[in-house]
Amino acid sequence: MVNFSLEGKVALVTGAAYGIGFAMAQALAEAGAQIAFNCRKQEHLDKALADYAALGIPAKGYLCDVTKEDEVKAMVADIEKSLGIIDILVNNAGIIKRIPMAEMDVEDFRQVVDIDLTAPFIVAKAVIPSMIKKGHGKIINICSMMSELGRETVSAYAAAKGGLKMLTRNIASEYGKYNIQCNGIGPGYIATPQTAPLREIQSDGSRHPFDSFIIAKTPAARWGSPEDLMGPAVFLASDASNFVNGHILYVDGGILAYIGKQP
């Protein structure tokens, strides 16, 4: 029987206070994993702990900026002491800034790359030594369709996510011999509170133009939901994927396979 159980496993999901990170952490917990997560603001941490508790999930939360190596090392050390060696890392924390490239300050570009690419490097670097000692580990990097595509106003995000795709493949290449699998999940357009303004019905009753654009470009003819990422996360975190390494699993409703409707 294929083993999707995560009983006895410890999972760290970065940025899992809400949204797709929270959904994936919930899925890992329901499969049996103990959950640790981080966020950068106390109010988000408090709300997330309450939300996990409401689901019966005894998650352990940390205030930690994953772009700061000393804070990450301290968090990982505490998780290993209180829960055990991290078996599963989901590098989910990320930001996007939608600014035309020629108008974007270099500081904004660097911030996006720092959070979306450098931070996954820092956290993976912190957990890999113990995974090597244990003889097994799973690293899941949350990439994006922008790992493959470009679009107006997302130069920093696309550059970072393209880099994260290649970091994923390099971790797989370098540490596969230690029975560590590193894969990516590339979400499509997901209906979350952060994307809600792009789906608002207009004053004349019509769809938001961006909403119409996404529906037309998606064979599934809908936005994804955070729940659509739960199964892929469990698969890549479990023994069911032990011979899957360096792969990016796009959960996009078919956008990357589709050229679009003829006008």
Q: Can you tell me the distance from the alpha carbon of 159 to that of 110, in angstroms, rounded to the nearest whole number?
A: 11
Q: Can you tell me the distance from the alpha carbon of 3 to that of 5, in angstroms, rounded to the nearest whole number?
A: 6
Q: Which of 15, 40, 12 is nearest to 139 (CA)?
A: 12
**Cα radius of gyration rounded to whole Å, the chain:** 18
Beta bridge partner(s), residue 39: 63
Q: Can you tell me the distance from the alpha carbon of 183 to that of 233, in angstroms, rounded to the nearest whole number?
A: 10
Quick check: is 157 catalytic? yes
Cβ atoms of 36 and 63 closer than 8 Å: no
Cβ atoms of 8 and 32 closer than 8 Å: yes
Choice among 62, 157, 175, 189 that is catalytic: 157
Amino acid identity of 235? F
Cβ atoms of 131 and 174 closer than 8 Å: no
| Joined tokens for residue 30 | 């329901």
Q: What is the DSSP string of 30-70?
A: HTT-EEEEEES-HHHHHHHHHHHHHTT---EEEE--TT-HH
Q: Which residues are catalytic?
A: 157
